[in-house]
Structure 1
């Protein structure tokens, strides 16, 4: 191994040195420090960046336990079976995890010049760490039905950290090259690695993507007995929201069809989206039908300060007055755009379709939507 490669490896696995690197506010100062570290004082900035980029593309031969707690796995490349890492800058506060990762990359000079990668196979062969971080609650949803609002309220509590639609977890579940047992193992390991940098926030809540409900068995076996909330909404309102901006599962993304045949596009976007939504609601019905599942149904129409606080208390225990006040303030702003005031749009969404389309939506989707509410009343979730 070359001296530069050895120094690169030592740098990536040295928390104190990385902390020093994070302290520099200008790229020239950071590069000057790195030249001393690599003992190449006469090399140009461009050549140093080139050497670093070359090593960033290689698989780093270190154990994941050596990176745990200060590096954060941020992306999984299924084609090359590699994990990408970055240094976190505080816990997630953005509506979605990919926005948090973008903040880490944009606001840290170190993340611009150091982008280590490790092998997924090495993680699969590793023993899980002792004292792994475990989630206290799950949010499943049909999309556009208040999940981002609920997760945004959760992160208002000082002891809570949120993984909101983590791209890392999604790519593991979408990878058809992994067996269900491997997916279960990786979910446990990757959840732990993403939560470990924030020990001051011991309560971890995970908001899954809408389609992840189709892998309930894999998730449940990875994390048994984690209480979950299943968020639903009037189907016409959900479909109206996707007319304005379609989510990945409603857009006809060809890769999604390998995850589940329901995502294979069919003629007519409305028919396709109704088919997808019916499949997701049916999967929720199956989850609720099993009384052993720690799952509770909540409708978008029921979301308010009281019901949200009640749900969060189910996961983290009593909430003190300052936390309740922050939740109340969070309800006043747009869930996906916190810099904007929340404007109710239920009536607008209810009127988004022509009478014939609305009749078709109600005919195909309202029976299963109503059955979700009925089964919840038959099998109330244990507190």
Structure 2
């Protein structure tokens, strides 16, 4: 007999042998309002009940449950090159109580990359599992909730065509930033995808033998270039409404661009919530936003600057050209 899972979410996926298993966490009515999915999960696990009581099922249980519990509709996808304002976008969307915003949710990442561990998992199965995971996470647990938004990990832009097939017609955006500023941010605190071995070398256009030959800075620059190339390729081949969004001026334009792309139609109270969220630091909402572009440009090492210009600048300029062509003059 399957456990009763109302109020529970698929919090983690684990591969054991040849099968994926789902670890469930009781979330109750708690909303995903933290900058990242894992922060909400960690906060919930401080409470005794979800810490002590767990469910574990096969993935097939989650797939079958989707028939009776399809979850709220997915209304938007947020792709990005990393360190370019995507967390602000997620926080703006999450400021409206009618939205469930899944920001870099680990179960989504596991499904998107599971075929590297289970070679028998084909694209159709990944799409089936992805829809089931999002449906499980996107259950209506509060009366005002109406829609789900996915803010993906930076490397998920490499799976953009699959995500378009999984959620056909759903609008998406790709957020990017001056590459020197992005390299400066990773110089201070390097993201996981900027470390060799986290992503399969072929996924970022490298051979395995090249990893030992590249400095951390060059590897990172080439990863960022590949992510931007994937965003550009996806935009040019788009099958859904899509938007390219530059970090420059994002604080002033983000609300209007999200409203337009995703058809948010906020009322007066919701407009105020959006304005308040836009004024806060996205990753530390107790602080007010401060533009750090100048500091980043000044702090970057000369090696990182040169590599950003060599590898990332050309595709950044191509993204800018596409964005400017699409925007009304």
> Is TM more than 0.5 here?
yes
**What is aligned with 1:79?**
16
For 1:1-383, list aligned pairs within 5 A: 61-62=1-2, 66-67=4-5, 69-79=6-16, 81-89=20-28, 90-107=30-47, 109-124=48-63, 128-129=67-68, 131-176=70-115, 177=118, 178-198=121-141, 200-252=144-196, 254-257=197-200, 260=203, 262=205, 265-266=211-212, 267-355=214-302, 357-379=304-326
- Identify which range, 112-121 or 139-148, moves more after superposition: 112-121
| TM-align CA RMSD | 2.3
Q: Which structure has the larger Rg over C-alpha atoms?
A: 1
**Would the aligned equivalents of 1:134 and 1:191 in 2 still touch at CA under 8 Å?**
no
Alpha-carbon offset, residue 233 of structure 1: 0.3
Distance 1:317 1:121 in 2: 34
Q: 1:84 to 1:354 in 2, by over 3 A?
A: closer
Describe the SS at the equivalent of 1:140. Answer: strand
Q: 1:227 to 1:86 in 2, by over 3 A?
A: same
Distance 2:93 2:301 in 1: 37
Alpha-carbon offset, residue 149 of structure 1: 0.6
**Would the aligned equivalents of 1:309 and 1:324 in 2 still touch at CA under 8 Å?**
no
Alpha-carbon offset, residue 124 of structure 1: 4.8
**What is aligned with 1:22?**
none
What is the TM-score with the length of structure 1 in the denominator? Answer: 0.76
Distance 2:168 2:111 in 1: 18
**Would the aligned equivalents of 2:138 and 2:148 in 1 still touch at CA under 8 Å?**
yes
**Would the aligned equivalents of 2:35 and 2:87 in 1 still touch at CA under 8 Å?**
yes
Q: 1:348 to 1:70 in 2, by over 3 A?
A: same
Alpha-carbon offset, residue 120 of structure 1: 1.5
Q: 1:255 to 1:314 in 2, by over 3 A?
A: closer
**Would the aligned equivalents of 1:145 and 1:238 in 2 still touch at CA under 8 Å?**
yes
Greater RCO, CA 8 A, separation 6+: 2
Structure 2: unaligned runs, 5 residues or longer: none
**Would the aligned equivalents of 1:72 and 1:197 in 2 still touch at CA under 8 Å?**
no
Distance 1:337 1:376 in 2: 29
**Would the aligned equivalents of 1:161 and 1:203 in 2 still touch at CA under 8 Å?**
yes
**What is aligned with 1:38?**
none
Question: How many residues are paired up?
Answer: 316
Distance 1:292 1:299 in 2: 21
Describe the SS at the equivalent of 2:27. Answer: coil
Distance 1:307 1:127 in 2: 33
**Would the aligned equivalents of 2:181 and 2:296 in 1 still touch at CA under 8 Å?**
yes
**Would the aligned equivalents of 1:313 and 1:319 in 2 still touch at CA under 8 Å?**
no
What is the TM-score with the length of structure 2 in the denominator? Answer: 0.88
